[in-house]
Structure formats: structure tokens, C-alpha cells
């Protein structure tokens, strides 16, 4: 059998009814498109989250305190900082606030931290000065602001030394931060940092609920984690009173969660490929009925059962293959566009692309087997009598 002539006949048959062919391929197109888009977006989001977490450093440890019976006082941070393997410690207190300067008003995320906060979170001073230990000890009403906050409030004016009002209380701007890449959490530059003790007093809070620790190095992160956990267990006498979470643990959990989610989304999208395969089987059965006399003539002049079967299998494979190629192209284009829209990494996994195409071909072959076998079983005499 001449493969070239068989392919030519397959394309002629498919192109003889373009609308029906397109509608038949639509299920495969949508299936491949969905698989590629969902998995690419899932992997892109994962990569962006991992980059965002990694940018903070693999030696960062987060501590959350849940015990309401026994508070963790700010002065207790000094005990944690003395533990082996630890470089910096800061209490963290977050709140949203209305900030006003002159006639300008904006809503910002206000973060309370000590003199270590900027170092731990990889912020650098653009102008002015950072928060100092004296600011924390004396609860000074000073603020260091990000570039977005500076633009929103001061436009092009120099904010250093200017007074702003934070929920009605006056603070002096003493420093601005260099612009930093945005994270998935939002605009990293839309930030206002004040001494944590000042913010806690303003919000009438005495206990520390959140602590961020920087280990000496990534290698000492595990040691620091263990030492913090041991200290807090001794302090609270209850493991449920706190949680110690390193960046490595966070990355591991994130990878597991997104891998499971991506697999689930890919599986759901794969179902539409199977639905597309059923559509191919239906249309191939109709094609066999329409071409019964043609099958009879070919058998009468010497075409064997295998020739007829291969002919119809190739036609169903061409339908699914062309649909797969169209779905791949649209999926890659859509993934790129969506990634730009939601500001995540554009990830194209060759294994997913190739796997989707091979699966679409396999669907075409599998769902084409029954119609092809039915056509091959037709007896020449019965086929020639068919009207």
C-alpha cells in the first residue's frame, strides 16, 4: 500500500466536507488547548511563587504565635536573636491604614518592624535613613516608605523630613526605599514601614504574634529552625501555641500543592479530549455508511481488509492530529497572553506539548478502531448493493 496515496485520499475525504470536519476536530482542539493552557498557567504560577519565595532567601524562617493565654513580649526577641545560627530577628506587625499628606490621601499596607526588617526582606535605602534601634526603643513616630507610596503621596517632591498622617497620627518620613520587583502578593513598593513598637502602641497591642528570622546561611537554616522550636516549646510548653516555618518547607508545600492542582486541572482538560474522540468515532461511523459502495468497489478490485482498515484509521488519525496541532498553537499563544495579563512566568513545557499531541493522535486511533473495523468487515456483495 502506498502511504502517500492513502494520505492523499484521507485529506481529500476530510476536505470534502469542511464544516463537518471542523466541528469534528473542535473537541480535540478544545481538549489540547485546555490541557496546554491549564498546565502552562499552573506551572507558570508555581514558578513565579517559587521565585518570589526564593528571592527572600532560603535562610528566612517565619514564626507565628497563637497562644492567647501567654503573650510573647517584644523584649523576648533578644533571647531568640542569641540562639545559635541566627543572624537577624524582627517582630512583624501588619495593618492597613489611611495615609494623608497635604491634600493627598492613599490606602497603604503599613508594616511594623525593627532595625532588621529591611535587611531581612532585601530592601535597600534610596535616600534618608532606615529605622534604628533608638526609634524602636523610644517608639518614635518615623516612617520609611516605598517608591510607589512616595509617588502617590508626594509626586516628584522630596519626601524626606515631611510629615504624614497615619490614621490621624503624625509621622515624619525619614527614608525612602529603592524600587523592588513586584511579587505575587502585590506591589512590593507600595509599603510604609514604621517602628513595630510604635505601631503596636497605636493599635493598643502588647503581644508579638509574628516574627521573621534570618539564619546566618541556608546551611544553618535547619539548625536555627530547631533552636527556635526548642526555645518556643520551653517558653509556651505547648507545641500548638506556635508555628515555625522555613522557606524550604514553604517551597516544598507549594510544590506539592501546585503539582496536585496542575495534575487535577490537566486531568479535567483531558476529559474533553476523550469527548472529542467520541465525536471522531461518531463522524467516522457516518463516513463508513456514506462510503459503503466505495468500500465495496475497492474490495471488488482487490483491496484487502487491512487496506480498508488502515485507510479509515489514517483518516481518524489525521482528524485528531490536525486538531491537536491547531489546539497546540492556540494553547501556546493563549498561555503567553494570559501569563502577561496576570503577570506570571510564561512556561512552555515541551513534555506537555508533545504529550498532548501524542495523546490526541492516540485518541484518534483508539476511537477510529471501531469504525475502521466495521468498514473492513463489509462484504463486497452487500456493500455494492447499498443505496
**pLDDT tens, N- to C-terminus, the chain (387 residues):** 566 776 777 777 777 778 888 888 888 998 899 888 888 888 888 787 777 766 666 788 999 988 777 777 888 888 999 999 999 999 999 988 889 998 888 888 899 999 999 999 989 999 999 999 999 999 999 999 999 999 989 988 999 999 999 988 999 999 999 998 776 566 788 899 999 999 999 888 878 889 999 999 888 888 999 999 999 999 888 888 889 988 777 777 777 887 787 778 778 877 888 888 888 888 888 888 877 777 777 777 777 777 788 888 888 888 899 999 999 999 999 999 988 888 788 888 888 889 888 988 999 889 888 888 888 777 766 656 655
Please report how the helices 18-55 and 3-15 are oriented relative to each other, as an axis angle in degrees rounded to 10: 100
Listing DSSP states for 125-178 in one string gives EEEE----HHHHHTT--EEEE-HHHHHHHHTTS--TT-EEEETTEEEEEEEEEP
240: which DSSP letter? Answer: G
Q: What angle do CA 188, 177, 124 make, to 5 degrees?
A: 95
Q: Are strands 163-166 and 93-101 parallel, antiparallel or unpaired?
A: antiparallel
99 grid coordinates: 495615609
Distance, in Å, from the CA atom of 44 to the CA atom of 25, rounded to the nearest integer, reads 28
Q: How far apart are CA 190 and CA 165, in angstroms?
A: 16
Distance separating alpha carbons of residues 288 and 319, to the nearest angstrom: 15
Which cell is 127 given? 535616600
CB atoms within 10 A of CB 103: 5
Residue 350's Cβ-count burial label (10 Å; 0-12, 13-18, 19+) is: exposed
Amino acid at each position: 500500500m502506498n502511504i502517500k496515496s492513502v494520505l492523499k485520499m484521507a485529506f481529500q475525504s476530510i476536505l470534502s466536507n469542511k464544516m463537518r470536519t471542523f466541528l469534528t476536530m473542535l473537541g480535540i482542539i478544545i481538549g489540547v488547548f485546555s490541557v496546554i493552557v491549564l498546565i502552562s498557567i499552573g506551572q507558570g504560577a508555581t514558578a513565579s511563587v517559587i521565585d518570589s519565595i526564593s528571592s527572600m532567601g532560603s535562610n528566612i524562617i517565619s514564626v507565628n504565635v497563637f497562644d492567647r493565654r501567654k503573650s510573647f513580649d517584644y523584649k523576648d526577641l533578644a533571647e531568640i536573636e542569641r540562639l545559635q545560627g541566627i543572624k537577624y530577628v524582627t517582630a512583624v506587625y501588619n495593618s492597613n491604614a489611611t495615609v494623608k499628606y497635604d491634600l493627598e490621601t492613599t490606602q497603604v499596607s503599613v508594616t511594623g518592624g525593627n532595625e532588621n526588617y529591611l535587611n531581612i526582606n532585601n530592601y535597600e535605602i534610596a535616600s534618608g535613613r532606615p529605622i534604628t534601634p533608638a526609634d524602636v526603643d523610644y517608639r518614635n513616630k518615623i516612617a520609611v516608605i516605598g517608591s510607589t507610596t512616595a509617588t502617590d503621596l508626594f509626586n516628584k517632591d522630596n519626601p524626606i523630613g515631611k510629615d504624614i498622617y497615619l490614621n490621624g497620627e503624625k509621622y515624619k518620613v525619614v527614608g525612602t526605599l529603592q524600587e523592588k520587583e513586584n511579587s505575587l502578593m502585590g506591589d512590593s513598593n507600595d509599603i510604609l514601614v514604621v517602628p513595630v513598637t510604635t505601631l503596636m502602641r497605636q493599635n493598643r497591642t502588647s503581644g508579638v504574634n509574628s516574627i521573621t528570622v534570618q539564619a546566618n546561611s541556608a546551611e544553618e537554616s535547619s539548625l536555627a529552625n530547631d533552636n527556635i522550636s526548642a526555645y518556643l516549646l520551653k517558653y509556651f510548653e505547648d507545641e500548638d501555641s506556635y508555628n515555625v516555618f522555613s522557606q524550604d518547607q514553604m517551597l516544598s508545600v507549594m510544590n506539592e500543592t501546585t503539582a496536585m492542582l496542575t495534575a487535577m486541572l490537566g486531568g479535567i482538560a483531558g476529559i474533553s479530549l476523550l469527548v472529542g474522540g467520541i465525536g471522531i468515532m461518531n463522524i467516522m461511523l457516518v463516513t463508513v455508511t456514506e462510503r459503503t459502495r466505495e468500500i465495496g468497489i475497492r474490495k471488488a478490485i482487490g483491496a484487502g481488509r487491512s487496506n480498508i482498515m488502515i485507510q479509515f484509521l489514517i483518516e481518524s488519525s489525521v482528524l485528531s492530529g490536525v486538531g491537536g496541532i491547531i489546539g497546540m498553537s492556540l494553547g501556546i499563544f493563549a498561555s503567553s497572553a494570559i501569563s502577561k495579563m496576570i503577570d506570571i512566568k510564561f512556561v512552555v513545557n515541551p513534555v506537555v506539548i508533545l504529550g498532548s499531541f501524542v495523546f490526541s493522535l492516540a485518541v484518534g486511533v483508539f476511537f477510529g478502531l471501531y469504525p475502521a473495523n466495521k468498514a473492513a468487515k463489509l462484504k463486497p456483495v452487500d456493500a455494492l448493493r447499498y443505496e
